[in-house]
Chains A and B, each alone.
Chain A
């Protein structure tokens, strides 16, 4: 017979595998994932169109020939000192601005898209993972066969893998769209950066998967768990805005405000763009820890209660 930890890990993997299959069977998650991929493609096409019009305008202003395919002039523009100066002012960080300016435009665009929309998508798809099973009582069939932690952790792993698949499907869609619509498309470099940025998007989204599943443990009501998830997203956004920008707080309680901000995933967003892994690592670790802690709080609440 397998030892308890080995058995636990085996059960987590079994639950996660079934969770993935169930997500495909219910089609709901699939629809959201397709919406994300479709949105990424539509966003990329809009981005390319924007580039096209900007470049055409620029070409007219400089009295040069229109580029036949968009992107060529943008790549040059992104390497210009003026663009770097603008970015530096935006992010208030020389090294970071240089890093961003050096990225393939589509990778930069997808990084922004993923970091902006993946949390919302995750909150919409993962919020009912536990609450729906509590509502119907179907979780009991699993709990007769393995412990609560294995079931909950398996669902966290399953939802995280789903999210990861969604992030990479989006990246693939963006790469394919760019390949066919940008003349200056650097296929290899773009693929590499899309893959690398997707990891950062996934870690950022994991914090939200943990939050959604933590909240999902709190109630047996599916509508309430959805409302809690979207409400939490709104509250965290508001908290971030107030603690980061409100003058009174920055003047009188900057220390405590910064401490609280550590608990808000968005506070770690900018650091995810940093070029050096060592500079990014604290944020990556913190986001992973936040997801785990949010999940654990919800799990511990439910573990002491009836299934």
Chain B
């Protein structure tokens, strides 16, 4: 099956500045893909060209296996939360969403029902009759997410969906995104809060200066299932540990020790052996974690990229 979104050598420049410099990656279907990169890396531009709002200068864009996105022919197949677009301030929330739903092909009655459903998903039913200008920043953000969910699109592009939300709402939005994946939708999500993405993503793409520097399943990128990190109260002598576990590949830095797990092997049994050896050496073990955090994986990849 084709990817939900495939970009191949996509270029986009604003004047002399290259926003996308041959960006290539594939986001799998039925998964949540995290798009990660610093400010100005090209994430928002990537969403814009994928949705057809921005004109790419070169490269190939394939949305849901049917070429570049044509909103007239496939209205409703793609839902998007643009980062820098404001909702019209005078509009009533339910009327605005119903208008968008009508443009997706719903009848007037269906559009009203669809708007109500999307608002309920975002816990905004009580603000349906409010005008956009009367809403807080967080509520506006949730209305913007709600418009992206209208008509249950096959592909959702969400640029910073949790930006400016209270912590409990961040959790709520994460649940909504998981529910979208459960119904079979493909999602591509960007966020500066990598712990947010780590909690929901199946796949990640690191993007830097308009290029994808790494992409793959979250487990592979963070080394889950391949690596176990033991965080210690104080540094230990790696040689002492290695002497007790000569058949294992170990690394140590500062106050952590990392076990490289062999491709075939009982990870739980290996962990028990390392833990026992550490305890024998009187090392205080504070935390045990499969692989790296997404944040660490990202920072390592950036550091590697800079040589």
Q: Which residues of A contact B (CB under 8 A)?
A: 1-2, 4, 7-8, 11, 14-15, 18, 21-22, 25-26, 133, 136-138, 140-147, 150, 304-307
CB distance from A77 to the nearest CB of B (A): 50
Question: Are A141 and B87 interface neighbours, CB within 8 A?
Answer: yes
Question: Are B88 and A137 interface neighbours, CB within 8 A?
Answer: no
Question: Are B86 and A137 interface neighbours, CB within 8 A?
Answer: yes
- Interface centre among A1, A144, A145, by most chain B C-beta atoms within 10 angstroms, is A144
Select from chain B the residue with minimum beta-carbon distance to A147. B72
Q: Which residues of B contact A (CB under 8 A)?
A: 48, 51-55, 70-73, 75-76, 78-80, 82, 84-88, 90-92, 95, 99-100, 102-105, 131, 147
Please pick, from A2, A4, A8, A18, the residue contacting B99 in the complex, using a CB distance under 8 A.
Answer: A18
Select from chain B the residue with minimum beta-carbon distance to A145. B103
Question: Are B53 and A144 interface neighbours, CB within 8 A?
Answer: yes
Main secondary structure of the interface of B (DSSP, over half): loop
User: Given the complex of chains A and B, what is the CA–CA distance between A150 and B104 in angstroms?
Assistant: 13
With a CB–CB cut-off of 8 A, which chain B residues contact A145? 71, 75-76, 100, 103-104
Number of A-B contacts (CB under 8 A): 77
User: Given the complex of chains A and B, what is the CA–CA distance between A7 and B55 in angstroms?
Assistant: 24
CB distance from A281 to the nearest CB of B (A): 35
CB distance from A1 to the nearest CB of B (A): 8
**7 new A-B contacts at CB < 8 Å, known A21-B95, A25-B91, A146-B75:** A4-B73, A14-B103, A136-B88, A143-B71, A144-B78, A144-B80, A147-B72
User: Given the complex of chains A and B, what is the CA–CA distance between A7 and B90 in angstroms?
Assistant: 27
Question: Are B54 and A307 interface neighbours, CB within 8 A?
Answer: yes
Question: Are A306 and B73 interface neighbours, CB within 8 A?
Answer: no
Select from chain B the residue with minimum beta-carbon distance to A24. B90
With a CB–CB cut-off of 8 A, which chain A residues contact B100? 141-142, 145
CB distance from B207 to the nearest CB of A (A): 19
Question: Are B72 and A150 interface neighbours, CB within 8 A?
Answer: yes
Please pick, from B55, B71, B75, B76, the residue contacting A304 in the complex, using a CB distance under 8 A.
Answer: B55
User: Given the complex of chains A and B, what is the CA–CA distance between A2 and B106 in angstroms?
Assistant: 12
With a CB–CB cut-off of 8 A, which chain A residues contact B88? 22, 133, 136, 138
CB pairs A–B below 8 angstroms (28 shown): A1-B105, A8-B72, A18-B99, A21-B95, A22-B91, A25-B90, A25-B91, A25-B131, A26-B90, A136-B85, A136-B86, A137-B85, A138-B87, A140-B53, A141-B100, A141-B147, A143-B52, A144-B71, A144-B78, A144-B79, A145-B71, A145-B76, A146-B103, A147-B70, A147-B72, A304-B55, A306-B48, A307-B54
Question: Are A4 and B72 interface neighbours, CB within 8 A?
Answer: yes
Given A4-B73, A137-B84, A141-B85: A307 and B99 interface contact (C-beta under 8 Å): no
Given A136-B86, A141-B85, A146-B72: A11 and B48 interface contact (C-beta under 8 Å): no
CB distance from A307 to the nearest CB of B (A): 4
Select from chain A the residue with minimum beta-carbon distance to B104. A145
CB distance from A300 to the nearest CB of B (A): 14
With a CB–CB cut-off of 8 A, which chain A residues contact B79? 144
User: Given the complex of chains A and B, what is the CA–CA distance between A292 and B65 in angstroms?
Assistant: 37
Given A14-B103, A22-B91: A7 and B53 interface contact (C-beta under 8 Å): no
